[in-house]
Amino acid sequence: MLSDWLDLSFEGKTPRSRTGGPANGRYRLLGSGMLELVPNTPQPEAYSCVISAGIHGNETAPIELVGELLAALETGQVRLGAPLLILLGNLPAIAAGQRFINTNLNRLFRRDLEESGPEPDRARELMATVDAFYARHQDHPPLHYDMHTAIRDSRYPRFAVEPYGEGPPTEENQWHWLAGAGLQAVLHQHCHSWTFSHYSRHYHGAQAFTLELGKVAEFGHNDLTALRPMSELLKALAEGVLPASAPPSRMAFFQVERELMRESEDFSLCFAEDTPNFTEFAPGRCLARDATAGECRVGNTPLAVVFPNAEVEIGARAALLVATTPPPRT
Ligand SMILES: [Zn+2]
């Protein structure tokens, strides 16, 4: 049943049984696109793991990774050793092959959310489910990997965004695991942004990341070879054993310096629309022209551009401007 769950979820169907057992554990459907797996005997090193995919509906590679993980659990190739919550974010958008239906789900994960509509309602469901899951499994530290793919090319196709947090710093072992999983870069956020991974870090103190795993493609057209080490990391988390590790210095580290905001109707970026993420611009280079804010130019140190999008609403972020930073001392 576990391997059918994905397809049934997309079709909006409920599987015949809502509970069952993979080898050495139990699963339970908590709602549409929400599956909890609990081991009979959790491993001492295990985290309470939230693995989410499809927060943007057209980002399919992460959903295929979830499918591989569930198949491995079902056949017993992976022995469940950690509490696991698998979440599919925006089911109607996944079914439609679109990023979202009405609005970007990945900015709505805040407890004082007042908006209404399909995406805000789904954000509330997902937040409540995460809260209850971490509360049920308090004897294991919380962890959340929210998996995405990017719209554009990238100098580093696989990178992690570390959400901003005022609590303890991210544990050292996370950098080793991400390097071991073939991630190529890390971007430290500089302020609160109400993404799903930020939710788990901000409200639960989880080890949490948004993982960008290559470029958007349709189901069946993803290059899963490059994601093999990431798939192994997910399996190790599910088993509750130590994942493969590599020196964090293999990854490039960046810090967000500032956000480039669109402030007027008459707004344009000064570089090509298909410029890859992490493209670096030299001091003095013009990055954007805005009728209200004027020109945005690079200051004394080079800046790289991530997630540029001139088509955002007025008042929204049109790009992140980032600078290189040393790897965390480990
Ligand atoms: Zn995404």
303/171 Cα distance (integer angstroms): 27
- Is residue 108 within 8 A of residue 119, CB to CB? The reply is yes
142 located within any domain: yes
Looking at per-residue confidence, does 75 or 163 come out higher?
Answer: 163
Q: Which bin fits 221, alpha (ψ -120 to 50), beta or left (φ > 0)?
A: alpha
Half-sphere exposure (Cβ direction) of 211: Cα atoms closer than 13 Å:
30
pLDDT at 61: 94
90/147 Cα distance (integer angstroms): 13
What residues have a C-beta under 5 A from ligand 1, the ion?
56, 59, 148
> What is the rounded average pLDDT for all residues in the chain?
94
Label residue 202 by pLDDT band (50, 70, 90): very high
66 located within any domain: yes
Same domain, 180 and 120: yes
Same domain, 117 and 262: no
Same domain, 162 and 274: no
Residue 292 sits in a domain of what CATH number? 2.40.50.630
295/231 Cα distance (integer angstroms): 43
Label residue 302 by pLDDT band (50, 70, 90): very high
pLDDT in tens, 248-301: 999 999 999 999 999 999 999 999 988 999 999 999 999 999 999 999 999 999
As a whole number, mean pLDDT of residues 118-143 equals 98
329 located within any domain: no
Alpha helices in the chain (DSSP H): 2-10, 61-75, 91-96, 118-136, 172-180, 196-204, 228-239
% of the chain residues with pLDDT over 70: 99
As a whole number, mean pLDDT of residues 133-146 equals 98
Label residue 1 by pLDDT band (50, 70, 90): low
330 located within any domain: no
Same domain, 201 and 87: yes
197/211 Cα distance (integer angstroms): 9
Question: How many whole angstroms from 319 Cα to the centroid of ligand 1?
Answer: 15
As a whole number, mean pLDDT of residues 103-117 equals 95
pLDDT at 14: 74
pLDDT at 121: 98
The pTM for the full model equals 0.95
- Is residue 278 within 8 A of residue 255, CB to CB? The reply is no
Question: How many whole angstroms from 80 Cα to the centroid of ligand 1?
Answer: 28
Q: Which bin fits 292, alpha (ψ -120 to 50), beta or left (φ > 0)?
A: alpha
95 located within any domain: yes
Question: How many whole angstroms from 154 Cα to the centroid of ligand 1?
Answer: 14
Question: How many whole angstroms from 194 Cα to the centroid of ligand 1?
Answer: 13
Same domain, 145 and 212: yes
Task: Tell me whether residue 192 is annotated as binding.
Answer: no
* Length reported for the chain: 330
Same domain, 147 and 117: yes
pLDDT in tens, 17-42: 777 777 689 999 999 999 999 999 99
Task: Tell me whether residue 56 is annotated as binding.
Answer: yes
Question: How many whole angstroms from 30 Cα to the centroid of ligand 1?
Answer: 23
- What Cα–Cα distance (Å) separates residue 14 from each residue in 22, 32, 43, 150? 18, 8, 31, 30
Give the catalytic positions in this structure. Answer: 212
282 located within any domain: yes
173/242 Cα distance (integer angstroms): 10
Same domain, 241 and 270: no
pLDDT in tens, 151-186: 889 999 999 999 999 999 999 999 999 999 999 999
- Dihedral sign of CA atoms 79, 27, 59, 94 in order: positive
Task: Tell me whether residue 204 is annotated as binding.
Answer: no
What six digits make up the tokens of 83? Answer: 């509490």
pLDDT in tens, 226-262: 999 999 999 999 999 999 999 999 999 999 999 999 9
Question: How many whole angstroms from 20 Cα to the centroid of ligand 1?
Answer: 31
As a whole number, mean pLDDT of residues 208-229 equals 91
235 located within any domain: yes
Total domains, the chain: 2
Residue 278 domain boundaries = 257-324
Residue 100 sits in a domain of what CATH number? 3.40.630.10
The DSSP letter of residue 320 is E
